[in-house]
Every structure is written in structure tokens, then in C-alpha cells.
Amino acid sequence: MLEATEIVERYERFMELIFADERGDALVAMYEKRWPVQLVEAPASDRPHFHNAFPGGYLDHILLVYDCSVKISKMYFDMGGKLDFTPQELRFAALHHDLGKLGNNDEEPYYVEQDSDWHRKKLGQMYKHNEIQYMDAAERGLSILAEEGIPITQKEWMGIRLADGMYKEANSPYYKNSMYPYPMRTQLPWIIHHADYTATVFERERAKFG
């Protein structure tokens, strides 16, 4: 769980990072219009044993993924790898890889509080999926960015779309080398995926051990 002051700190840092982008004004306008409440209150998942199923969990997760992505990209570079993306592309993909988990807007959030005591006690499910149009979370986020007229690069698109790695079956053609000559022409999706996975594992352990 996060204290109110901790949520405010994460919100302020998130906004600072957003403002650093050349699309900052449009992005801030999007968040203020669609999710003035959800941005600070949304969880990152529905169950604590998965990760960050508490108010402010989304922001906490997004920022941790960004920090992990910076560290992983530095390690990759130090080992001799080529970084074929800009710091802005890395930041944008990391900060928006789970955008769809905010839902369409405050009136149509992705998660709502679980109102079943049985689900809470037996399954540890603190939230449940809202009854809105089903969409893959990454695809919902990309759709919203398109609706808002916010331009993104192909590498940013791939970083967001493929953030779940091969845990999502639809991502397999991008990650498998069966397509000649190599389907993945950028390392950004690998970086974002490993950052997301690392952050999630850390959040699980933090919930378990405190």
C-alpha cells in the first residue's frame, strides 16, 4: 500500500517525465481529460500476489518499469549492445506500456473494486475487470493515443504492443526468429518487456515480504 503523500510524489514525478517529452502538452491534456481520478487511484492488477493491487499501484508500477528500462538499457549498452532507440522513445514506451489499464476514462475504468467478499477472501481479488468493451490492454492504449492524435514512432508502438513478451501468444511472431531476416528490427520491445517483468517480480516480493 501507498500513503497519500507517496501517491502524490509519484504523480508529480510522472508529470515531470511527461512534460519532458515534446508531446508533453498533448499528453497532459489527455490525462487531465480522461483520467483525472484513475491516474492516481488505479491499481496495476487485480490481486496483491500478482502485483500492486492497491490505489496508486498503476503509477508506482509505471515509474518502476521506467527506472528498470533505463538500467537494463545501460547494462545492454555496457555489454556491447547497440541502442537503436532514443531516450525519448524509451521513456514514452515505458510510461505508456500499460496505458490501456486505465480504461477508456474515469467513467469507464479498466478495474473496479471487487464487491464480492468470497472473491476477496478466497482468491485475494481486490479488484475485478469492469464491464466495458473487451480490448487487449496494449491495444486499448494504442487506440487511445491514436484517438487523441498523439503521434508515436514505430519503435514506441512496438515497445508498447509487445511489452508482455511471449506471455501473450499474439506476440510470438515478433519474438521468434522464424521470419527472415529477423522480425525484430529494434531492441526496444525486449528492453520494455524485461523491465516490466523485473518490476512485476519485485512488486510481488515486496507484497510478500514487505
The one-character DSSP state at 54 is S
- Average pLDDT of the residues in 36-51: 92
As to burial, measured by CB atoms within 10 angstroms (0-12 exposed, 13-18 middle, 19+ buried), residue 107 is: exposed
pLDDT band at residue 184 using 50, 70 and 90 as cut-offs: confident
Q: pLDDT value at position 196?
A: 97
Mean pLDDT of 80-108: 97
**CB-based burial label for 69 (10 Å; 0-12, 13-18, 19+):** buried
- CATH label of the domain that carries residue 169: 1.10.3210
Domain that holds residue 177: 4-209
Q: How confident is the model at residue 11 (pLDDT cuts 50, 70, 90)?
A: very high
Total number of domains in the chain: 1
Give percent of the chain above pLDDT 90: 78
Q: Which residues make Cβ contacts (< 8 Å) with residue 119, sequence separation at least 6?
A: 125, 128
Q: Answer whether residue 179 shows pLDDT above 90.
A: no
Whether 136 shows a pLDDT value over 90: the answer reads yes
pLDDT at 149: 97
Cα–Cα dist 81/29, whole Å:
36
Q: What is the pLDDT of residues 110-124, one digit of tens each?
A: 999 988 989 988 888
Confidence band of 79 (pLDDT split at 50, 70, 90):
very high
Banded pLDDT at 178 (limits 50, 70, 90) = low
Single pTM value for the model: 0.94
Tell me: pLDDT of 37 over 70. Answer: yes
Does the pLDDT at position 201 exceed 90? Answer: yes
Residue 24: pLDDT above 70?
yes
pLDDT at residue 148 above 70?
Answer: yes
DSSP string for 60-83: HHHHHHHHHHHHHHHHHHHTT---
pLDDT reported for residue 199: 97
Query: Average per-residue pLDDT in the chain?
Result: 93
Give me the DSSP letters along 168-184.
Answer: SGGGHHHHSTTSTT-S-
Grid coordinates representing 20 are 519532458
Q: What is d(CA 142, CA 157) in angstroms, rounded to the nearest whole number?
A: 7
Residue 130 and residue 149 in contact, taking contact as beta carbons nearer than 8 Å: no
pLDDT for position 181: 66
